[in-house]
Chain A
Amino acid sequence: MVLVIRADLVAEIVAHARRDHPDEACGVIAGPEGSDRPERFVPMLNAARSPTFYEFDSGDLLRLYREMDARGEVPVVIYHSHTATEAHPSRTDISLASEPEAHYVLVSTRDEAEPNHAGHELRSFRIVDGVVTEEQVDVVETYMFAHTGADDVPDRDASV
């Protein structure tokens, strides 16, 4: 399992998390149904306005799902921040997770965050029936080659 996600979308998630700190930030990245490709960044209001909890406002949630339905989209990524703990699903996250096909992306804005090579602590998980599985995150500049295996991509030096 792997989340392939564009760098600009990762930057949007991180910026939202930093902007809302010390409260948790949350949102989705919608993408075409069946594509597993996050495309449309949709930051959501944390109706709980809390450093330890997040919840989409119920009216916003209905509008979001109607809009995605109308566009043939699903929530490919559901993200939120942890402001004092690591970027790993909490027990509450696990018990409330209800999109078995989504990538649950967590970003930590804690002081002692352990940044990856890109300078932030961001991880992705599947949460299905209470079981959490971490997955690799591949940050790409474009999805142009995302649907082809490594063997299908022409050797860039071949024509030189």
Chain B
Amino acid sequence: MAVTVSIPTILRTHTGGEKSVEAKGNTVGEVINDLEARHGGIAGRLVNNGSLHRFVNIYVDDEDVRFAGGLEAPVGENSTVTILPAVAGG
């Protein structure tokens, strides 16, 4: 199913400047794979050794997927997936 994915500024180089793109998948992992097929290089910015990058937050609607199964988190029809890099530092 198609979902809308909100792309942060720093990853828009992969989407031709688009702030939001369509992707397909029933889980966050599938959505990321589909994003990668359409916008090569983006998956490497989100996933590290098979799990979500520690400092990238992905939300399905209002929920941080880190608390909902990570890459296995389900994505429903008409969901919005939002990608936001952590604002963090030392």
Contact = CB atoms under 8 A, between A and B. Distances in A.
A28 B66 CA distance: 24
Interface residues of A, number: 29
Contacts of A28: 87
B9 interface: yes
Contact of A96 (B8, B59, B62, B88): B88
Contacts, number: 68
A96 B55 contact: yes
Q: Interface size class for chain B?
A: 10 to 19
Given A59-B64, A100-B9, A100-B10, A90 B57 contact: no
A52 B85 contact: no
Interface of B: 8-10, 55, 57, 59, 62, 64, 66, 82, 84-90
Given A53-B90, A100-B9, 10 more contacts: A53-B89, A54-B90, A56-B87, A56-B88, A58-B66, A61-B86, A93-B89, A96-B86, A98-B10, A99-B85
